[in-house]
Structure 1
Amino acid sequence: MLRRLTGALYSAAVALIAVALAVMVLVVAYQILGRYLPFLSRALWTEEIARMCLIWLVFLGAAVGVRTSEHFLIDLIPKRISDRAQRVIITLGLALVTVVAVVLFIGSLSFVETGTGRTSTTSGLSLVYSFTAPLVSAVLMVLFSIESWWEGMRRPEKGGLRLDEDALVEPITTRDTTNDGTAGGESR
């Protein structure tokens, strides 16, 4: 059940990252074109929208990095250690990530509260939309850490969740042929 929930949250976070990136690119492009093309008005709200998208990109990207084990990970310890030692290392690492996420969550509660009564000066949007990003990210980080820890206890050789490459991106395969007609440079 946890795997299904975090899978859905992961997919939603990746989709939101893609939308935020697309919106940011379009808004910044409009802002740049508005400076040089006389028929486009110079919009001041574009900077605030681009900043809001960047904030969400950073915080959601950090949470996604926790789930894919591509963030907060340093491979200094050889893979040849025992499963028990791997479990201890996984537990310590993910406990540190969880502590950081809990501190981020606690700190962002008052931050979100300050954003509820404030609006952006040029776009008129409530600042709570930007100020909520750390809170959402912290919750996702904790959930993804729990899932990674659980997978690390089940399969310590994988070092936690570490999604397989085909789960993240469809792998590209190529066939290399040499002049002698064999694949991959094999000799006959």
Structure 2
Amino acid sequence: MIVGFLLAIVAFAVLWQVLVRFVLTAAGYNISAPWTEELARYTLIWMVFLGAAIGVRHARMIALEFGVRKVPAKIGVPIRYGVMLLCIGFFGLLFWVGLDFLELGRSETSPVLGIKKDKVYWAMPVSMVIMIINSLALIAETISLDRDIRFAADFAPED
């Protein structure tokens, strides 16, 4: 729901920017709306990171799965769990990198909206924590329901 709301904000900002730049200019009204570009960019950043966190929970991230799906379960399942653990480690690394960005963002202000950029940079550490939690939840779910993790995306609910 949050990601859908963010998408609506991005769509509104981009539509307004197009209307102001092309339609109103062609009609003889020369106004500008510089806030639309920043709003769309910052909202898109949050939308992508939160959307990726949802994708992790449902095993819908882009992956080359044909290899582990073709090998026997005795080989493919441990490989898939190993990859999930590597992803969790990577998300942890990105969490720490995101914290470094927060320090940088506290000293930067966006030129048009005038907000501290750390509000934008919070998207990374927040989403990485959610990705770690969602990865662990996916692992726990496949183990508790005795499902083959290689096919976890096939069991994900359709929204």
Q: TM-score normalised to the size of structure 2? A: 0.84
The yes-or-no answer on 1:123 pairing with 2:113 is yes
Counterpart of 1:123 in 2: which secondary structure? coil
Counterpart of 1:24 in 2: which secondary structure? helix
Counterpart of 1:47 in 2: which secondary structure? helix
Counterpart of 1:168 in 2: which secondary structure? coil
Distance across 1 between alignment mates of 2:104 and 2:154: 37
Q: Which residue of 1 aligns with 2:86?
A: 96
Distance across 2 between alignment mates of 1:87 and 1:41: 59
Question: Offset at 1:45?
Answer: 1.2
Structure 2: gaps of 5 or more residues: none
Query: Which residue, out of 44, 48, 59, partners 1:58?
Result: 48
Count of residues paired in the alignment: 153
Q: Which residue of 2 aligns with 1:26?
A: 12
Counterpart of 2:61 in 1: which secondary structure? coil
Q: Which has the larger radius of gyration?
A: 1
Distance across 1 between alignment mates of 2:71 and 2:151: 15
Query: Which of the pair is proportionally richer in helix?
Result: 2
Question: Offset at 1:130?
Answer: 1.0
RMSD across aligned C-alpha pairs, in angstroms? 2.2
Distance across 1 between alignment mates of 2:84 and 2:68: 15
Q: What pairs with 1:39-188 in structure 2 (closer than 5 Å)? A: 39=29, 41-75=31-65, 76-78=67-69, 81-82=72-73, 84-154=74-144, 155-159=146-150, 161-162=152-153, 164=155, 167-169=157-159
Q: CA distance change for structure 1 residues 101 and 94 in 2, over 3 Å: closer, same or farther?
A: same
Q: CA distance change for structure 1 residues 119 and 74 in 2, over 3 Å: closer, same or farther?
A: same
After superposition, give the CA deviation of every residue in 1:79-122 in whole Å (9 maximum; x if it has no partner). Answer: 6723x545412320111110110110010101012212322111
The amino acid across from 2:153 in the alignment is: R
Q: Which residue of 2 aligns with 1:183?
A: none
| 8 Å CA contact retained: 2:3, 2:51 | yes
Distance across 2 between alignment mates of 1:52 and 1:111: 14
Q: TM-score normalised to the size of structure 1? A: 0.72
Distance across 1 between alignment mates of 2:89 and 2:134: 13
| Identity within the alignment, % | 29
The amino acid across from 2:55 in the alignment is: G
Distance across 1 between alignment mates of 2:38 and 2:113: 7
Q: CA distance change for structure 1 residues 158 and 79 in 2, over 3 Å: closer, same or farther?
A: farther
Structure 1: gaps of 5 or more residues: 1-14, 170-188
The structure showing larger relative contact order (alpha-carbon pairs under 8 Å, at least 6 residues apart) is 2
